[in-house]
Amino acid sequence: MAYTPKPIGSIQPQKRSALAWALSDSWVLTQRSLRHILTNKDQLLGLAIQPIMFMLLFRYVFGGAIETGSTTYVNFLVAGILIQMAAFGALTTSISLAADLQRGIVERIKSLPTISSALMTGHVIADLARNVLSSAILIAVAFLVGFRPTAGPIEWLYILGLLLLFTFAISWLAAIMGLLARTVEAVQWMGFFFVFPLTFASSAFVPTEGMPWGLRLFAENQPVTHVIEAMRALMVGTPMGNHALMAAIWCIGTVIVAVPVAAYLFRKG
């Protein structure tokens, strides 16, 4: 009798649909990525220390020097740091994929009858879990240093949804970077040049009104600013405008484009 290879996590493939195989494979590889977080002391320390350092640094170094209008600087700041941390945290997906390429894990996964995007999906979902935990620590620290939001339970659900959507979108972009760079060293400098301008040339830490004209034009119309302003409006009641709509368009559009591109690069790499 001919042997029928089984996908990862699947026991009886002949009785399961392609969607069930994809979900099973993705879940197994998500568990792998989550275990890496739990067993990696460096990542756990980063999850705990990084949000505390960012919050304290910006709160007390820049807090008395930047005018933010009717809201306090700490209230203005929290949304920006949340998105900055999500953006930099998404680079873990790039680094993990590059490390898998260097260690030959990707070639081993390709040799199995698995969905081509399962390995990347595992890294991306683990990235979501990592960022939620890091964000919870950041918000707890923010409350200790004077953060006083006006958001109710519904607004906090919208904030969580927006954070997850942004993290999901940028993690798939990070997956593309990891597949293109192919080494951890290359990923680090690529990520710096990609994430650093988007987060700092935005409304994350200062109002855009005081920026030079060209920089202000870029800052007010780039996706990170739309996400931050939508989240800030939900948190502390600043004007929403069209930021929520634009944030959703940018994030969903990014996912629609990035997922098939990442899958193609994974198959052809």
In the block, residue with structure tokens 């069930």: 20
Which ranges of 182-242 does DSSP label H, i.e. alpha helix? 184-200, 213-221, 223-236
Domain ranges of the chain: 19-268
One-letter amino acid of 184: V
Taking alpha carbons only, the member of 247, 252, 210 closest to residue 229 is: 247
Residue range 53-80, pLDDT digits in tens: 888 888 888 777 788 777 889 999 999 9
- Provide the pLDDT for residue 42: 74
Q: At what angle do helices 184-200 and 153-181 cross, to 10 degrees?
A: 140
Cα-trace Rg, the chain: 20
What is the chain's pLDDT, residue by residue, as a tens digit (269 residues)?
Answer: 444 444 545 444 445 676 777 788 888 888 888 887 777 777 777 777 888 888 888 888 877 778 877 788 999 999 999 999 899 888 888 888 888 888 888 788 877 777 777 888 888 998 888 888 889 999 999 999 999 999 999 999 999 999 999 999 999 999 999 888 878 888 888 888 888 888 989 999 988 888 899 999 999 999 999 999 999 999 999 889 999 999 999 999 999 999 999 988 888 86
